[in-house]
Amino acid sequence: MAGVSQTTVSLVLNGRAEGEVRISPETRERVLQVIRETGYVADPAARRLAERRNRIYGVFTYEAVFPAESADFYHPFLVGIEECAEEAGCDLLLFTSAKVERGERRRIFSAESRIRLADGCVLLGRTIDREDLSRLLSEGIPFVSVGRRDDAGGPVPFVGADYPPAVHALVERAAALGHRRMAYVGAGAGAESYADRLRGFTEAVAATGVEGLHLATADRLFGSGASVVFAEELADGAAIAEAARSRGLDVPRDLSIVALGAPTRPVSTDIDFARFRIPRREMGRRAVELLTQVLERGGTPQELLACELVEGSTLAPVREGR
Amino acid sequence: MAGVSQTTVSLVLNGRAEGEVRISPETRERVLQVIRETGYVADPAARRLAERRNRIYGVFTYEAVFPAESADFYHPFLVGIEECAEEAGCDLLLFTSAKVERGERRRIFSAESRIRLADGCVLLGRTIDREDLSRLLSEGIPFVSVGRRDDAGGPVPFVGADYPPAVHALVERAAALGHRRMAYVGAGAGAESYADRLRGFTEAVAATGVEGLHLATADRLFGSGASVVFAEELADGAAIAEAARSRGLDVPRDLSIVALGAPTRPVSTDIDFARFRIPRREMGRRAVELLTQVLERGGTPQELLACELVEGSTLAPVREGR
DNA sequence: ATCCGCTGCTAATACGGATTACCACCGCGG
DNA sequence: CCGCGGTGGTAATCCGTATTAGCAGCGGAT
């Protein structure tokens, strides 16, 4: 239509017409005019094939992205991811195709995986398959994990929440309120985030010189003599509060409770726990920024974002006589 | 690695090895073995280029998908869309790249639009640009709109909520409770969904033989003598309830209120309005199903899903003497 | 010995755009 | 008239897969 070659159109379209290769302003204008009239847009698939770049970022979650169960937890991450993708002019590819079989988790690599259609990928999930991770690394697929991850055959790029200092601060606050015997309730393992919380607790009690107990479950909590309990998850905190109430204990007069996580399961509690805020939205944003950075300059960025403390009303001075 | 040509791999990969083209079972097994070992996956971009098919469905929303403001409204649609995409083995491409300029809406077609990377597209939004719609039609891009749409240079494929019968049923119920003067408050235009509600109302009052008023705003409602008001949006209903209270009117003793929409804006009200339920999740699911159908067999499906009535507590018998 | 039909596989090409090497043209100085 | 440098553009190739036409080899029938 403009009487020029495909090459010329490509050059004009990509603004390369000013550098090495020269196209006269008249020709350029003519091509642009036709493009405007027809609304021509280069085929993204062909572009990807030729250019190895798409401006499409993949988003992989081990659970369904939208559904309600964990929606409250994942949603803020996605808000941040979308915001930042929008600013970067990128589209998001949600890998929904990996069927979640009953009891099975999604897998990143399936026979039909379209992960390589995206320039790179943001990973979301409490835990991430080590096999998947190491394969991502070995195949050289650019990605950033939301949440700290242990090495998996190499360092993993991530943006995580910095749990240890946050837990540390809460332990110190409890100590300042007179607590001398503290319990951590939760696995303290399984996911990196759990391990980090327990580590923060363990280091903090050591540094503060108070006594720290680690209980896998709340069963033996009430015989332990602990005056404050650090619950690994908000749901755990709610359960402990309920158990305390049923024993006739008042929170926080008889027992202080600190919650160390965000609601990953839908918890119907309006208790205003002493806790910290996981900067989920910021983590989402930052993950996309880091992915962009990886795509442009490579590297293996690892970042931890600070968690803001929330005073709450479940951490009080230790009761005399305990 | 298997000592065969690229063609052979392609044939094996696509299970074409049994039809016209023949590959010996031994060779096939050898290729499959290598595929298993290496985890080879065909490049989706190249596939799309060659095959014109991707198993990627685009999702276009005029507002940001995730953010909180309209999250409550859009989320159920997305749940349905994701569910169905997962079952169909499709990935979802969110067109987040179209920057939402201050005060501007997203546009489907931009210079960088990656819409053609997807096999087809699901459109979501209260209103959809007519230009965008007619361009989709004229370019022959397969799509399905969530929400009924008027023709835009041709019939538009959609799955919508069937408002008129739902509104009709509510009008009838009001009439059965003795109401003889009913008001509809809202624009009744702008979006198809609003027009449909007003149309349902207008037809229903005519059929029922009661008096129907259409008020653009609630300003003159209280002098109108209407004993029941149909609010176009849930938020409108909440505002009217508030206004009634401030006038010393009791809902529903002095004034019945029927809400005709779902919360599109975050409304903090716990009023249990007489209303109907928009089957949003089902609409999302169905949209994906219809898109699949369009891709396979073409056509322009148009479907309306029934809205279930919700009794609520804001519709009562008309008060004597009004 | 020739031809046929079948089996099993591959060479060649298309898909649409990015990139690169190179060519045709023009004006100018020698 | 020749050579030279700068302009403006294009042919050719590549990206990785799907598809199609066709080729080599072989056994059996004529």
Q: Using a 7 Å CB cutoff, list residues 296-315 of A near strand D.
A: none
A210-233 tens-digit pLDDT: 999 999 998 888 888 899 999 999
- Chain A closest CA to B227's CA: distance in Å? 39
B129: left (phi over 0), alpha (psi -120 to 50) or beta: beta
How far in angstroms lies nucleotide D22's C1' from the CA of residue A136?
Answer: 41
H or E stretch including B56?
strand B56-61
Residue B290 structure tokens: 């219809």
Are B94 and A82 inside 8 Å of each other by CB?
A: yes
Complete DSSP assignment for A242-303:
HHHHHTT--TTTT-EEEE-S--SS--------BEEE--HHHHHHHHHHHHHHHHHH----EE
Alpha-carbon distance of B244 to B179, in angstroms, equals 18
What CA–CA distance (Å, rounded) separates B176 from B256? 13
Q: Is the pLDDT of residue A166 over 80?
A: yes
pLDDT of residue B266: 62
Which residues, numbered 131 to 170 in chain A, qualify as contacts with chain B under a Cβ-Cβ cut-off of 8 Å? 135
The mean pLDDT value of chain A amounts to: 88
Residue B11 makes CB contacts below 8 A (sequence gap 6+) with B17, B21, B23
- Tell which strand C nucleotides have any atom below 7 Å from a protein Cβ: 7-12, 14-21
Q: Is the CB of A310 under 7 A from strand C?
A: no
Task: Determine what percent of chain A is predicted with pLDDT higher than 90.
Answer: 50
The CA–C1' separation of A7 and D1, in angstroms, is 36
Please give the DSSP secondary-structure letter assigned to residue A307: P
Nearest chain A alpha carbon to B99: A86
Q: How many CB pairs under 8 A join A and B?
A: 142
Does residue B50 lie within 7 Å of nucleic acid chain D, judged by its CB?
Answer: yes
Tokens of B65: 């998908």
Q: Which chain A residues touch B93 with a CB distance below 8 Å?
A: 56, 91-94
Out of B82, B100, B135, whose CB is closest to A66?
B82
Do A78 and B64 make contact, defined as CB atoms within 8 angstroms? Answer: no
pLDDT given at position B17:
67
Q: Over the stretch B101-145, which tens digit does the pLDDT of each residue have?
A: 656 677 788 777 788 888 899 999 888 888 889 888 888 889 999
Determine the distance in angstroms separating the CA of B25 from the nearest CA of chain A, rounded to an integer. Answer: 20
Q: Measure Cα distances from B38 to A64, A107, B68, B164 in Å.
A: 28, 16, 43, 57
Count of Cβ atoms closer than 10 Å to residue B36 Cβ = 10
Q: How far is B194 from chain A (nearest CA, A)?
A: 27
How far does B280 lie from chain A, in Å, by closest CA? Answer: 13
Q: What is the pLDDT averaged over residues A12-41?
A: 84
B10 CA to chain A: closest CA distance, Å? 13
The answer to whether A39 faces chain B, any CB pair under 8 Å, is yes
Percent of chain B with pLDDT over 90: 51
Which of A35, A90, A93 is the best substitution to test chain B (most B C-beta atoms within 10 A)? A93
Tell me the per-residue pLDDT of B219-245, one tens digit each, with 9 for 90 and over.
Answer: 888 888 899 999 999 988 999 999 999
Residues in chain B within 8 Å Cβ distance of A41 = 109, 111-113, 116
Hey, are the CB atoms on A83 and B65 less than 8 Å from each other? no
Tell me if B41 and A68 make a contact (CB, 8 A cut-off).
Answer: no
For the CA of B44 and the C1' of C16, the distance in angstroms is 15
Mark the nucleotides of strand D covered by protein, meaning any atom under 7 Å from a CB. Answer: 7-12, 14-22
Write down the pLDDT at residue B265: 65
Distance of A271 CA from D30 C1′ (whole Å):
96
pLDDT tens per residue across all 322 residues of chain B = 888 999 999 998 888 766 678 888 888 999 989 988 887 888 888 988 998 888 889 999 877 766 655 556 788 898 899 989 988 888 999 888 766 565 667 778 877 778 888 889 999 988 888 888 988 888 888 999 999 999 998 999 999 999 999 999 999 999 999 999 999 999 999 999 999 999 999 999 999 999 999 999 988 888 888 999 999 999 889 999 999 999 999 988 999 999 998 876 666 678 899 999 999 999 999 999 999 999 888 899 999 999 999 999 999 998 865 4
Please indicate whether, in this complex, the C-beta atoms of B93 and A91 are within 8 angstroms of each other.
yes
Q: Is the CB of B64 under 7 A from strand D?
A: no
B19 touches A at CB < 8 Å? no
- Chain B residue nearest residue A109, CA to CA: B39
Please give the pLDDT value at position A284.
96
User: Rounded distance, CA B124 to CA B63, Å?
Assistant: 9
Instruction: List the structure tokens of A256.
Output: 């202080």
A44:B86 CB<8 A: no
Between positions 78 and 137 of A, the ones with CB within 8 A of B are 78-79, 81-83, 85-87, 89-100, 109, 111-117, 135
List the structure tokens of A110. Answer: 């399936």
Residues on chain A touching B75 (C-beta within 8 angstroms): 66, 71
| Cis bond upstream, residue A252 (ω within 30) | yes
Q: Is the CB of A21 under 7 A from strand D?
A: yes
Q: How far is CA B162 from the centre of its chain?
A: 12
pLDDT in tens, A226-272: 999 999 999 889 999 999 999 999 988 999 999 998 876 666 678 89
